[in-house]
Every structure is written in structure tokens, then in C-alpha cells.
Amino acid sequence: MNTKQPATAKSQLAGTDTLDRGNTNAKLESLEPFRSDATEQALRTNQGVKIADNQNTLRAGARGPSLLEDFIMREKITHFDHERIPERIVHARGTGAHGYFQSYEAHSALTKAGFLQDPSKKTPVFVRFSTVQGPRGSGDTVRDVRGFAVKFFTDEGNFDLVGNNMPVFFIQDAVKFPDFVHAVKPEPHNEIPTGGSAHDTFWDFVSLVPESAHMVIWAMSDRAIPKSLRSMQGFGVHTFRMINAEGRSSFVKFHWRPKVGTCSLVWDEAQKLAGKDTDYHRRDLWEAIEMGDYPEWEFGVQVVAEEDEHKFDFDLLDPTKIIPEELVPITPLGKMVLNRNPDNFFAEVEQVAFCPGHIVPGIDFSNDPLLQGRLFSYTDTQISRLGGPNFHELPINRAITPVHNGQRDAMHRTTIDKGRTSYEPNSIDGGWPKETPPGPQDGGFESYPERIDAYKIRQRSDSFGDHFSQARLFYKSMSAHEQEHILAAYSFELGKVEREYIRARQVNEILANIDLDLAARVAKNLGLPAPTAGTVNVPTPSLETSPALSQANLLSGDIKTRKVAVLVANGVDGAIIDALKQALEAEGAHAKVLGPTSAPVTTADGQTLAVDASMEGLPSIAFDAVFVPGGAQSIQALSTDGVALHYLLEAYKHLKAIALNGEARQLLALLKLEADAGLIPDADAGKFADFFAAIAQHRVWARESKAKGIPA
């Protein structure tokens, strides 16, 4: 691959002997990498994947119909369709970061994909996180699904794993995607609500489409209000294939597991953050990387052998279903680390283009009807959004492999192609670029030869017909506090629905088929009669519960990267602050000292103590825990400071760990609070371990019922 050089390339060629044409061309190619010579180069897609067959469309049998999943044909035709320039929606709100992926070992038995073979190699990646519903200006912490898209810049071409932080989706067939998005977007008459789903059109749609039941209950859970982008799981959603060098195919589900554990905000906290810090999630990601707290995820797959495709009580091709981890454990493949922030948000985060159809040898598609439609939709969308079919030439999207083919012209073309031909086969340019036969490593892409013998019909498989058993499994797998949050979310969202018949339909025809007690309690909160029975016979799944679904079981067990607010005023005990900072640093956590203002304070021994911000500038919702050091004068000042008192009450209401040192214990009586597992009233240096253990639990869930009455 040519090395990028400064923009002064032409000036560096000044004075070159015009007769020395060969040397001039060599210099020009090294200085201007956008000039492309296909001589002795492999024929590749725009993502850098070598092409094994450029003569035939992928079809269902030699005389069968062409298949929509033929990404090579679609890219080629799509580019051709847009070569002439005429006279120039979801996941709009996002942020991203650079990093690398590193395989744990060679996974040759599973796949021939090159980036999963060498444990010493670091494959560059770019990741974009996003909300689904809202526009660019909406809040980071609204209740919504989060996009989790990873672009792997592999030596065999780009691989885009375009998923979400939830493992299922609202619909089973891509033909319904426009309907779903139209329904969840703001109401057309008043463009309200922005970035939320609590309105009539969304609930009208999902109450009429039972296949959405599983995804909706995920969206009503804490998964929809993640604590940070760093603490989200990621999922490929669909079933894919992996193929090894011998041509053996396995079905796989892709998973990302965050190193810091999986956890969420509480609802009141999420709402306040949406108002006080619209950019909370993107700020947290940016600051973590800048501080060296590089976010890390483990990448794994659930593997199902071809012969086991039909052994489950659900269909692997149904995107509204999971494979419970208790049935098929996750096989770890490697890790991803994000270690560099973008240099320019627009050029990188806004212009990055992800398409599920960007795959490499060793990875292929299943017949999931939602995935099949996405293979077309994403490329088509990028053409409109980025102004033409050359979006692959934008720096953030460029493959690190060379790209040579007969695709030419169109808007925003930056490559200057050399040679006389733009077709294949040719004899004028020596036949270059040429096809690469399939091979075990670095061969041309070869689609898995799946046998298909069927009629062409518009019909959904009967195996897609169960819409409630996994929604029930999810609800039954939640801890008590997670179930209460789901109840509160349904009650809040449906309480915003104007039409009572839509509320009633959701309760009676959807929730009653998931859990009658949940339906009855939501009905009570909405002033509706409680249903007495479901409307369908829900099959009994092979598992009653799946502990892997509950975030209560997905914590990291440590406090790395957690943030502690230290509240101070003049006369504070500086020694205990120093001890706390050292102890937190040893655990990989951070403290920020907050005063009544941003001005420094004076410690009890007369030293000047710099503060990081004021309590109003960094409210409790920005932290994981609160520590109040002793010092008689400091506590006297905080006792009469309404902002400081509210700070503690709000942290208590949001179930966070609170530690009081020395004279700070007096604040308990003043605020009428009682010590509990997460409120430690005598936190000297010897009790830091108890404080840290409470932080590691993320929240003090036993406090929740008591904290509801706290006016914060």
C-alpha cells in the first residue's frame, strides 16, 4: 500500500527530468497515493476484499433467482447506477473513537478470516456509538436503543459489524423497517417527542405487531438507559456464518462484553442528565480515553454447528430471538481497546459509513430476513447521505488494502485511475486487475454454497410465530429491582399515550401474554381493568430463567474508572483527602474535589486546596459516589449550604455509595438519613474498603424503596 505524503507532492517533483518518465511516475505514485495503477493487482471490492468470481451473480441454483445478499454484484451495479451526477434518519446522534482489535489466538477451526488468526497482530478499528430515534441535537441519556457499530480495517478488506446494545430487534422482516421507524419518530403533526418513544404512534405500532414484544421489554428495561457507552454490551443481533479453510460453516452470534461491567442509570438520573449535560455519554467516552482509561471489550461468539440449526425451540434466523447463554456459551475470540479520540468530529464520526454487507473471507450471511434487507438498505442510505457511491474513498472509510476495479467517476471521486480500461476482462491493460481464486488464506471472497430448493413466496416461516416466550424469559430473568424498573417504564411511557384503546391493547394483548402480574400492575397505574388471561397460548421455553440476561450479574467486581465526588469547604481535613485519592488511584478510580465555588479552599492546617469544580458545576449525577471529609469548619459550612445538602440527598436518592468522615457524620441527622450498606458514616482510611465495595455494587438497591420519598 502506498504511504500517504504531504499535500506538496507536485512541488516536490519540480525539476524532475521530463524524459525520465518511469522515475517520475514512481515518485508521483509514492507522493500522490490517490493515483491508482491496477497493473499486477488483484480485482477487489471497494472495501478491499478480493473477488473470486466477477462473471456470475450469486443465485439460488444455476437457473434460480439472483440473491439480494450478493454484496459484490450490488456494490458494482450501485456504483454504476450513480456514475453520472444529477443536479446533490436513524442513529443520527452519535460519537466514536479509534482503537484496535487483537485476537487471543488463531481461530482457524472456526473461520479463515485473517484478523482472527494472529494473536500478535493489532487490527485497527473505528467504533461509532449512537442513539436510534433522536436527531443530532437530542440528549445522550434518553430511553432508547444504542447503536454499537465497529469497522475493522483488516488486511483482507473492511469488515463492518453493525449492531446494537440489545441482542434482538423490533421486527422480523426488513420490509417492516420503514413502518417501525415512521412510528417511533416524533409525531408528524407537531414533531414531538424528540428522542423518545412515549407517544401514540410508537405504541400503536408495537401493540399491533406482537413480534416486537421481546425488543420492547428490553427497551423498557435498564438496558435503554446505559450508565456510559463504556459499560454497554454490544450484539451483532443477527445470526451470521463463519467458514473455515476447509469450507465448513458454523452459525454464530456476535457479542461484545465491556471490561468495566454492564450497568445503567436510574430513570430520574437519566432525565436530569438529559437536561444538565446533553453530551454526558460522549463526554464520558472522550474523557476516559484522554485520561488513559481506555475502554475495552471482549469479543466473542456463540457457535452453533450446521447440523444443530433446528435443535432449539426458536428459529436461529429470527432476529427477535436470542440464544440463551446457558444453552450456548460465548466463546471468547479477542479484545477491542479504544485508545484514540477523533481529530475531527465531522470528518470521522459523521462521515464514517457502516454497511452490514462489508464482510471478509471467512464471514458470511444467514437467511435472516431482517439482515437480508439491511444488506441493501445501508449501502443505499450512504449514497444519499454522503452524496454518491464513492463514500468508500473518504479517509475514515478507506480500506487499508489496495482497491482496484472498474468502478469509475461519480460524485466525490478522489482516486485518479491510470490505464485505458475500466472493465474486466480486458486485454489492453494486460487483463489487470484480475480475479483471485478462493483460497484458505488471502484468497478471493467465495460465498458459502448453501443449498436452497424452495418456491419463491412472500410468506413467513411458522418457526417465527412465537412472539412471547423469550419476552417472558427476559422478564423472569430480571432481579427484583430490574422488574420494578420495567413496570415503571411501561407505566410512564403508556401514561403519555393519549388514546386509551392503545394503552389497553398493549396491556391486554401484549403484556398479558408476557406476565399477568406485570400486566395487572401496569393496568392499575393507568387506571385500566386488569387482564385475567393472555390472548394466546405461549409455548414453554426450554429455560425458565437466564441469569446472563440480568445486569445484576454483569458487574466487573472492581471500581476501575469510577468517579468519586469529594465535597469540601474551608477548614476541611486535607490529610483524609490525600489518603482517599491515593487509595482510589490504587484501584484505578478517580476523585474530583468540589467546593462551594470554583475557588480554592483552605484546609484545617492552613494549606491551600485547589478544587476541580463547584458542586453546581459538576452535580452528583456526574459521579458514581460521594465522599465528605471531616473538618469542623468545613462541615459547619456544608450544613448551611443548600447545594451541598441537595448533593447528598440526590446521591442518596440515586442509590449511590456515600461515605462520611469525622465531623461529616453530623449530616446524617440533619438530612434524616440512616446508615446502610452503601452509606458509611465513619469512613476513615480503615473503612475505605467498605466504601469501595459499595461502589463496586454500582447501586444500593436495598435502599430504593426508602429513597423514593427523598425530594431531590
Q: Catalytic residue positions? A: 91, 164
Q: Are 269 and 621 in contact (CB under 8 A)?
A: yes
- Cβ–Cβ contacts within 10 Å for residue 402, how many? 16
E strand map for 515-579: 563-567
CA atoms within 13 A on the CB side of 453: 1
Q: Which three cell numbers stand for residue 35?
A: 493515483
- Cell numbers 465495595 correspond to 693
Task: Tell me the C-alpha distance between 148 and 98, whole Å.
Answer: 13
Alpha carbon distance, N-terminus to C-terminus of the chain:
59
Q: What is the DSSP string of 336-395?
A: EEEEE--S-HIIIIIT----TT---TTEEE---HHHHHHHHHHHHHHHHHTTSTTGGGST
- Cell numbers 401484549 correspond to 510
Q: Are 468 and 210 in contact (CB under 8 A)?
A: yes
Q: Are 445 and 182 in contact (CB under 8 A)?
A: no
- Identify the three-state secondary structure at position 274: helix
Task: Tell me the C-alpha distance between 561 and 558, whole Å.
Answer: 9
- Where is 289: in which H helix or E strand? helix 280-291
- Identify the three-state secondary structure at position 74: helix
Task: Tell me the C-alpha distance between 39 and 399, whole Å.
Answer: 19
Q: Are 420 and 428 in contact (CB under 8 A)?
A: yes
The closest alpha carbon to 320, from 204, 233, 235, 198, belongs to 235
Q: Which three cell numbers stand for residue 515?
A: 406476565
Question: What is the separation of C-alpha 517 from the centre of its chain, rounded to a whole number of angstroms?
Answer: 32
Residue type (1 letter), 367 = N
Task: Tell me the C-alpha distance between 534 and 466, whole Å.
Answer: 14
Q: Are 497 and 203 in contact (CB under 8 A)?
A: yes
The closest alpha carbon to 74, from 57, 59, 50, belongs to 57
Task: Tell me the C-alpha distance between 518 and 622, whole Å.
Answer: 32
Task: Tell me the C-alpha distance between 277 and 271, whole Å.
Answer: 10
Task: Tell me the C-alpha distance between 648 and 646, whole Å.
Answer: 5
E strand map for 488-568: 563-567
- Please work out, in degrees rounded to the nearest 5, the angle formed at the alpha carbon of residue 710 by the alpha carbons of 709 and 712: 135
Whole-number Cα distances in Å, 372 to 139, 369, 453, 457, 510: 31, 5, 18, 15, 27
Whole-number Cα distances in Å, 76 to 143, 363, 580: 39, 20, 61
- Where is 467: in which H helix or E strand? none
Query: Rounded to the nearest 5°, which phi and psi values hold at 423?
Result: -150, 165
Query: Rounded to the nearest 5°, which phi and psi values hold at 365?
Result: -100, 160
Q: Are 509 and 207 in contact (CB under 8 A)?
A: yes
Whole-number Cα distances in Å, 682 to 629, 658, 661, 664, 671: 10, 11, 5, 9, 16
